[in-house]
Amino acid sequence: MDAISNVPVPANERVYGYAPGSPERAALEDRIKELAGSTAELTMTIGGEQRLGGGAPIDVVQPHNHASVLGRTNDATARDVQDAIDAALAAAPSWRAMSFDDRAAIFLRAADLLAGPWRATLNAATILGQSKSVQQAEIDSACELIDFLRFNVSYARKLYADQPISSPGVWNRMEYRPLEGFVLAITPFNFTAIAGNLPTSAALMGNVVVWKPSPTQQFAAHFTMRLLEAAGLPPGVINLVTGNGQAVSEVALTHPALAGIHFTGSTATFQHLWRTVGENISGYRGYPRLVGETGGKDFVLAHPSADPAVLSTVLIRGAFEYQGQKCSAASRAYVPRSVWNRMRDDFVATAESLTVGDVAGDLSTFMGAVIDARAFAKHKTAIDRARAAANIDVLTGSYDDSVGYFVKPTILECADPTDEIFVKEYFGPILGVHVYDDGDYDKVLDQMEGIAPYALTGSIVADDRYAIADASRRLRFAAGNFYINDKPTGAVVGQQPFGGGRASGTNDKAGSIHNLTRWVSARAIKETFVPPTDHRYPHMG
Ligand SMILES: NC(=O)c1ccc[n+]([C@@H]2O[C@H](COP(=O)([O-])OP(=O)(O)OC[C@H]3O[C@@H](n4cnc5c(N)ncnc54)[C@H](O)[C@@H]3O)[C@@H](O)[C@H]2O)c1
Ligand SMILES: N[C@@H](CCC=O)C(=O)O
């Protein structure tokens, strides 16, 4: 039975530096060579059994060297998805009967394995498969995933401890049951940590899960599954199905036992999932929980009091780290002319100096490639459109997909703040800049607050405290994560719980107690110790 134990107090995992000559760099370089040198079979995992999906084959390649195949996976068929659901439902009774401490121990052990012997493997897989620089992989596939695993255990314990009051002669309790059915976790390509967190957070709360990662993240997802098995996750608790998701939509979304969807990805995909659930709502045993963290068009608003050096660093890191492929990436900036005149040339020169290339072959590289041919084509179209537009000045930016899907840091200056570069999520290293006359600050703030449909992240850069307080108030609903004199990316578990509103998602804050509440269904229990034996009340005389 459940003991009320004190779970380990979590602290954020240390970020290793990977400086030339460091032991962690040597270990990582060795692991990259090993993983790049063999073509892996990227199987599904259903009820603990590994097997290839029954559908069309998919090559998983290195985005910065697309001729290099890391592994082969297959699209899952309807039969595969049905098998995964059956395996999950078969595992449910034993899993939900297991004590919280026993479940938690598995995920805490996974965190410790990842912090130690598995660190190089997950980082190498993320660098190779998702084209992350070593710094970007370390903060994702090592630190953030470790933090999710450890902090969620601590949040779960706090949630279970939240109990109602009792009156004399009565004992009231709240039981936090897992959901009845299975949770469908559908995860994006861009964060190994998110891909790991979405199935594990629901499983920690006693749920069984069908997990469908993105094919372009399948390489790291494969090793994440192996890590969870090494930590002792029983068969059937998390079932991994591979591929593009069409069969998942057809089978899992219409299954009566669908109890929840834990999604991160684009707004369009989440709206498709939500719509399908709506269309099938009378066919489920309960009302499926829908949690989705989706797209962004994240802003940096600079006030005339902004320090140009601070603003420049916020924009370079915020817009171009991981090739701008973060839902939080700065993709629109509003800069007063007085500040822009002092920073423009240095800023553009700094963007041009960023190294873009083979992140796996040279660990000092700042940026890799965008994820695939589809992303490359989207960015190419956006840059070509900007080049042809009379009112857009392409200050820097180019593309080349001959070896890898490379898009260089692109800065587009545009006088029209309603142009698509300030509205549409490209999800790449493309930054739109609107330069305004200093006296127009208030007008610009009001315009940018609602021009994009999203409300995920945003920054105010200013030294004037009145301006900071004013922007903080007026932009209250424009971002779920708001930054003052900092880049709008890089939220840390336990420090800046992450998520946004409007078209950016349900804002359930991944890696927080708020998220975990979505994966339980509470049962209130009242016990009366000496029950009355006469139905009459005093007022009845
Ligand atoms: N708000 C956040 O926390 C957050 C975090 C990361 C990424 N994102 C967003 O994710 C997007 C980029 O990720 P992506 O390109 O992987 O997104 P995506 O929507 O293309 O794919 C996400 C997942 O959904 C699956 N999928 C796609 N169509 C499906 C269907 N019809 N049925 C079932 N599954 C389906 C994909 O295979 C993948 O596993 C961006 O919009 C970004 O802003 C948001
Ligand atoms: N949590 C990450 C973004 C996740 C989306 O891609 C950040 O804060 O940069």
Q: 122-175: per-residue pLDDT in tens? A: 999 999 999 999 999 999 999 999 999 999 999 999 999 999 999 999 999 999
pLDDT surpasses 70 at 79? yes
The residues pairing with 261 across neighbouring beta strands, listed in sequence order, are: 184, 290
Q: What's residue 4's pLDDT?
A: 79
Element (H, E) at 113: helix 100-115
Q: What is the mean pLDDT of residues 9-33?
A: 98
Q: 344-373: per-residue pLDDT in tens? A: 999 999 999 999 999 999 999 999 999 999
Could you give the strand order of the β-sheet that contains 40-41, starting from the edge strand earlier in sequence? Answer: 40-41, 65-74, 57-62
Q: What's residue 2's pLDDT?
A: 58
Q: Ligand 1 pocket by C-beta < 6 Å: which residues?
A: 186-191, 194, 212-214, 244-246, 248-249, 264-266, 269, 272, 293-296, 327, 425, 427, 456, 498, 504-505
pLDDT surpasses 50 at 391? yes
State the catalytic residues.
293, 327
Q: What's residue 1's pLDDT?
A: 47
> What number is the ipTM of this complex?
0.98
Question: Cβ(303)–Cβ(462) under 8 Å?
Answer: yes
Q: What's residue 419's pLDDT?
A: 98
CA 280 to ligand 2 centroid distance, Å: 32
CA 489 to ligand 2 centroid distance, Å: 6
Which atom from ligand 2 is nearest to the alpha carbon of 329? 9
Closest CA to 338 of 301, 308, 299: 308
Please provide the DSSP assignment of 114-126 as one string.
Answer: HHTTTHHHHHHHH
Closest CA to 526 of 166, 1, 168: 166
- Tokens representing 102? 């026993």
Closest CA to 471 of 310, 331, 301: 301
CA 58 to ligand 1 centroid distance, Å: 18
**Three-state SS letters, 419-441:** CHHHCCCCCCCEEEEEEECHHHH
| Other residues' Cβ atoms within 10 Å of the Cβ of residue 526 | 11
Residue ranges in 117-211 assigned as alpha helix (H) = 119-130, 134-137, 145-161, 192-204
**Residue of the nearest CA to atom 9 in ligand 1?**
265
Q: What is the largest CA-CA distance in the chain?
A: 92
Q: How far apart are CA 241 and CA 394, in angstroms?
A: 42
Proportion of the chain above pLDDT 90, given as a percent: 98
Q: How far apart are CA 12 and CA 32, in angstroms?
A: 25
CA 481 to ligand 2 centroid distance, Å: 10
Which atom from ligand 1 is nearest to the alpha carbon of 215? 37
Closest CA to 250 of 222, 225, 279: 279
Please report which confidence band the pLDDT of residue 3 belongs to, taking 50, 70 and 90 as the band edges.
Answer: low
| Other residues' Cβ atoms within 10 Å of the Cβ of residue 519 | 26
Ligand (nearest to CA of 510): 1
Which atom from ligand 1 is nearest to the alpha carbon of 191? 6
Please provide the DSSP assignment of 380-394 as one string.
Answer: HHHHHHHHH-TTEEE
Q: 441-469: per-residue pLDDT in tens? A: 999 999 999 999 999 999 999 999 999 99
Q: What is the mean pLDDT of residues 176-182?
A: 98
2-11, 32-41, 329-338, 510-519: segment of lowest average pLDDT: 2-11
Which atom from ligand 2 is nearest to the alpha carbon of 188? 6
Task: Say which residue the tokens 């967190």 belong to.
Answer: 197
